[in-house]
Amino acid sequence: RKGPAGCSAVDKSAPSPPHAYHTTISMDDWTDGYVTEVPYSVNHFPEMAPAHLRLALLQAGLAAPNTDRDFTYLELGFGQGLGLNMLAAAHPQGRFFGNDFMPAHVAAAQALADQAGLSNLQLVQDSFSQLRGRDLPPMDFIVLHGVYSWVNADNRAHIVALIARLLKPGGVVYLSYNCMPGWAHKAPLQRLMSEAAQRQSRGSALQGFHAARDLLRQLDAADAAFFANNPGARTALREIANASDAYLLHEFAPRGWTPFYCTDVAADMGRADLQFAASAKLFSNFPQWSLPPELRAVIDATEDSGMRELLRDFAMQTPLRRDVYLRSPRTLNAAEIEQEYDATLLALQRPPASCARHVRTPITALHLEDDVVDALLAALAGGPQTIAALRALPALANASPASIRETLNLMLCLGYLGPATAPKVETRGRVHALNKALLKRLHAGERLSGFVSPAHSAAVAIAYHDQLFLAAQQNEHSNPDTLASYAENVLQISTGPTATPSALPDLQREARNFLQYGDEYYRSLDLFGAT
């Protein structure tokens, strides 16, 4: 995606790795119906960071665990482990744990941890049932992305049991999962693809799913009633047609795959003594920006909190929920909320030039106040600032407190800003070691979702081509032509020969925009240290 003047904006998509750590394992009993033929994409998800979860809970008026001192964090089913490594590097005061049962995933994650010298990260190749036998400490945070929808009922029971045993009072669970009715158009496609692939007697699981996808296309082309009567199904089929192999297999192949109504998941979490607290998708915590007034009135008239969430999913046709649950939640009083809010550290999450002023929320178009946004971006260009410091900026002396607060909240929802953490003394060296290890993988053609900033003590999502230009700078390239040539060479490793008459000129144009609009911002992140 492009920002103003063509500057590369933050790319929050999740590109799949082209070749990293492939393994071919048959779908036998040990997988419990989970396909392991292709590794999952190399991603991190900002919503899983302790600072982001704290912010989501603060918006709901609830307390989060203190991460200024020692804390514990467990990721169930960590995939390639990029996010877990990033968090461990950025938070030396925390102890991080994670499991995944795919050997290739664990090997990749452990290799990265070893290269970065992370001693506060413990990774195990365990199923969820095996993990229940481990001697693990009580956890402040337990997180899992997508996994709950992908595993079978037995493994979901193991997950609930792990949470019930390990989560501390006041502890946080982040749980993202495929949600109904948002998957209503796509769920039948998953079933047909899964049935067709399982009944195929020859070839790999991936070949089976490619054939099943072709079968869906044939049904659509022949105007099957399901597609003719469900326009949303045709849209879903187009999405599937463009999906990466990693997404296709991990999202559609598991035999236990289930999209859930939020009330069913709440009942499961209730068995672990948890209560729904907030959404990690920040827009969802602001009904004025995510729900039309007529629907807000219907939902607000409903007393039952679980029913309100279910109505919200129908109102928004939510395909993926990002739920935050708490054990023994503590409600903050008004004074505590203001104190916590003022102390919240914020940081830029993208180059200022890519922060558009005309924006869309899930329901409407808005225009950000130019004077307020200009002052906030200028202040944050120098590094993270507390909300109290931002509210006290001389340039905002004539802005109302309500206007400043609304603008900050909207910029957080849009991803222009993100919560940061004050770095510890040892953070910088750890983060630089991790980022340099990631640079080697990027140079070898692996597609990543970003790097870690020691200035923010947090991961930062970065557009793929901007990552390549950053890598080129670390290889002592400094002008648009050499940045573009480096990027072109890596792209050919990543995707195969892709050169077209316009490919290099396009990269040169992007490199010029990168240097003009993004270079100062990326230097402020202190990603790699002195070269």
Give the amino acid at 362: P
**3-state DSSP call for residue 436?**
helix
Q: Pairing relation of β-strands 450-453 and 458-461?
A: antiparallel
pLDDT at 5 exceeding the cut of 60: no
pLDDT of residue 196: 85
Task: Please give the DSSP secondary-structure letter assigned to residue 327.
Answer: S
- Cα separation of 220 and 194, whole Å? 17
138 near 166, Cβ under 8 Å? yes
Look at the chain and count its residues.
531
Three-state SS annotation for 173-184: EEEEEEECCCCC
pLDDT at 16 exceeding the cut of 80: no
Residue listed under structure tokens 């190749």: 125
Residue 146 contacts by C-beta under 8 Å, 6 or more apart in sequence? Answer: 176, 177, 178, 250, 251, 320
Residue 269 contacts by C-beta under 8 Å, 6 or more apart in sequence? Answer: 160, 163, 173, 175, 275, 276, 325
Mean pLDDT for 32-52 is 75
For residue 444, which of 108, 122, 12 has the smallest C-alpha distance? Answer: 108
Residue 94 confidence class, pLDDT cut points 50, 70, 90: very high
For residue 185, which of 222, 244, 226 has the smallest C-alpha distance? Answer: 226
Residue 251 confidence class, pLDDT cut points 50, 70, 90: confident
Which helix (DSSP H) or strand (DSSP E) does residue 267 occupy? Answer: helix 262-270
pLDDT of residue 247: 80
pLDDT of residue 92: 96
Q: How many Cβ atoms sit within 10 Å of the Cβ of residue 247?
A: 18
Residue 35 confidence class, pLDDT cut points 50, 70, 90: low
90: which 2 tokens?
């950025």
Residue 205: exposed, middle, or buried by beta-carbon count in 10 A (0-12, 13-18, 19+)? buried
- Cα separation of 422 and 442, whole Å? 28
406 near 364, Cβ under 8 Å? no
Mean pLDDT for 35-42 is 60
72: which 2 tokens?
């514990």
Q: How many Cβ atoms sit within 10 Å of the Cβ of residue 269?
A: 23
- Cα separation of 399 and 388, whole Å? 14
For residue 113, which of 70, 80, 148, 146 has the smallest C-alpha distance? Answer: 80
**pLDDT single digits (tens) 152-164:** 999 999 999 999 9
**pLDDT single digits (tens) 100-140:** 988 999 999 999 999 999 999 999 999 999 999 999 999 99
pLDDT at 309 exceeding the cut of 50: yes
Q: What is the CA radius of gyration of the chain?
A: 23
pLDDT of residue 29: 46
- Cα separation of 351 and 367, whole Å? 19
**3-state DSSP call for residue 458?**
strand
pLDDT of residue 21: 27
Cis peptide before 394 (omega within 30 of 0): no
pLDDT of residue 200: 78
281: which 2 tokens?
């998708």
**3-state DSSP call for residue 142?**
strand
Question: What domains can you pick out in the chain, each with its CATH number?
Answer: 9-16+424-524 (no CATH), 47-181+259-326 (3.40.50.150), 187-252 (no CATH), 343-419 (no CATH)
Q: How many Cβ atoms sit within 10 Å of the Cβ of residue 85?
A: 30
- Cα separation of 80 and 72, whole Å? 20
Q: How many Cβ atoms sit within 10 Å of the Cβ of residue 456?
A: 28
Q: How many Cβ atoms sit within 10 Å of the Cβ of residue 356?
A: 15
